[in-house]
Amino acid sequence: MRSAPANLRRGPALDIAVVGGGMVGAAAALALSRAGFSTALLEARPPTPWSPTDEVDPRVVGLAPSSIALLDELDVWTSIRDARACPYAHMHVWDAENGAAIDFDAADEGRDLLGYIVENNLVQWTLWQSIEAAGVRRMCPATVKDFDTRSDRIALELADGDSVSVRLLIATDGAGSPLRELAGIATHGRDYAQRAVVAHVTTERAHAHTAWQRFLPTGPLALLPLADGRSSVVWSLPEAEARRVHALDDQAFLHELGVASDFRLGRITASTPRAAFPLKLQLADTYQAERFVLLGDAAHTVHPLAGQGVNLGLRDVVELRDTLVVARDAGRDFAAAHVLRRYARRRLSADTLDAYGFDALARIYAWQASPLVAMRGLGVRVLDRLVPLKRRIAAHAAGL
């Protein structure tokens, strides 16, 4: 499917090209087009159509209030919410080693909800249905083979021989971003040597619109509420253990998952087929080059224990859009280096703090020496009683 006309690719320069049509890329294209920039979205493969009759996508995201606000501003949130999204108002986190627990409740923050659990595919598909109507010029399939940066624009060379000229190139092409490599931007971080095993399960007891997370010596296990009453499992395990759990027969998997979750929702009675994906911490050394910026996973990937990966990417979108609009409305070149540096400094600083905060949490919960486990438990119990600090943590997670 190629929805952009041929003369677009050989015509006058566009303002912006967004390369990568996942949730963050599609949101960026839609937000920038709505802000008045002529925008193209380039993607190698169209998303799988979403249907309410299909099985729930195994990959889900916990959308924070900041992300919901952006999607609402883009006029897609109501469709997503009404299709198949599950609100949650509580979060219960507990330690398998010492029993220490911490609870977050929306009512304590003066809010109705902490967020929504939504399928990745539903969010992406809904955004894709809106981008053309908003004036985004969708090019799919399209792959950028190379690009040439000039004083006033970037010329993109596509794999099929076509070319596109833009004033600003935005890479939202994933953690392995080919565009980031072409731009010569390095990354740093660490491989967790873990995989997250994911599935949707039926439980004996209702999830009670609560996100449950248990920290085990092998890694965190999350049970996230789904709209159909089931729970989505995100079980982080060392590589070898993840492969073993992934290969278990259904009955053995249900039993081991029940034990791992401390049967908090009773027996696990059924499961969808399992999938697994590797975990790593990765941050780009910079988020910008000449007429070029990174967003989403191309800029940062974080441990899923806090469920913040997509939310960080959508905050990138808001920061970049607002930065570009201010420059344009002031009559300046919105893709000038000093403008892009402003976006890059702000988001790199915020993302680095979050990424290494999540990493520190993963390291702390990996402690197994008895004195350290006891100290961790004491810290969690104290934190649970420090209401002002808990509120600041919850507000930060919400993007408020």
Four-CA torsion 126, 127, 131, 133, nearest 10 degrees: 30
pLDDT score of 10: 45
Q: What is the mean pLDDT of residues 327-342?
A: 97
Distance spanning both ends of the chain, measured CA to CA: 39
Tokens standing for residue 10: 């050989």
**Burial of 52 by CB count in 10 Å (0-12 exposed, 13-18 middle, 19+ buried)?**
exposed
Residue of 290, 336, 232, 315 lying closest to 24 (CA atoms)? 315
pLDDT > 60? residue 329: yes
Q: Give the domains, in start order, of the chain with CATH numbers.
A: 6-363 (3.50.50.60)
pLDDT > 50? residue 1: no
Strand ranges, E, within the chain: 14-19, 39-42, 60-63, 85-88, 90-95, 101-105, 115-119, 137-139, 144-149, 154-158, 163-171, 187-203, 210-216, 219-225, 231-238, 268-271, 275-284, 288-289, 292-294, 300-301
Q: What is the mean pLDDT of residues 376-395?
A: 83
Helix axes 309-329, 337-365, angle to 10 degrees: 160
pLDDT > 90? residue 396: no
- Summarised one tens digit per residue, pLDDT across range 80-135 is 999 999 999 999 999 999 999 999 999 988 889 999 999 999 999 999 999 988 99
Q: Cβ–Cβ contacts within 10 Å for residue 155, how many?
A: 15
- Summarised one tens digit per residue, pLDDT across range 359-372 is 988 888 888 899 99
Give the whole-angstrom CA distance, residue 397 versus residue 391.
10
pLDDT > 90? residue 312: yes
pLDDT score of 294: 98
pLDDT > 90? residue 384: no
Give the whole-angstrom CA distance, residue 289 versus residue 302.
22
pLDDT > 90? residue 383: no
Give the whole-angstrom CA distance, residue 68 versus residue 62.
10
Q: Is 353 strand, coil or helix?
A: helix
Residues 6+ apart with CB under 8 A from 316: 24, 28, 295, 296, 299, 347, 351
pLDDT > 80? residue 12: no
CA distances from 257 to 92, 199, 306, 378 (A): 17, 11, 20, 27
**Pairing state of beta strands 187-203 and 268-271?**
antiparallel
Kindly indicate the confidence band of residue 388, based on its pLDDT and cuts at 50, 70 and 90.
confident
- Summarised one tens digit per residue, pLDDT across range 43-85 is 999 999 999 999 999 999 999 999 999 999 999 999 999 999 9
CA distances from 36 to 8, 22, 244, 328, 369 (A): 18, 21, 51, 10, 57
Q: Is 344 strand, coil or helix?
A: helix
pLDDT score of 366: 86
Q: Which of 133-137, 163-167, 302-306, 322-326 has the lowest mean pLDDT?
A: 302-306
Q: What is the mean pLDDT of residues 307-312?
A: 88
- Summarised one tens digit per residue, pLDDT across range 145-179 is 999 999 899 999 999 999 999 999 999 999 999 99
Higher confidence at residue 2 or residue 219?
219
**Pairing state of beta strands 14-19 and 163-171?**
parallel
Residue of 230, 351, 214, 344 lying closest to 288 (CA atoms)? 344
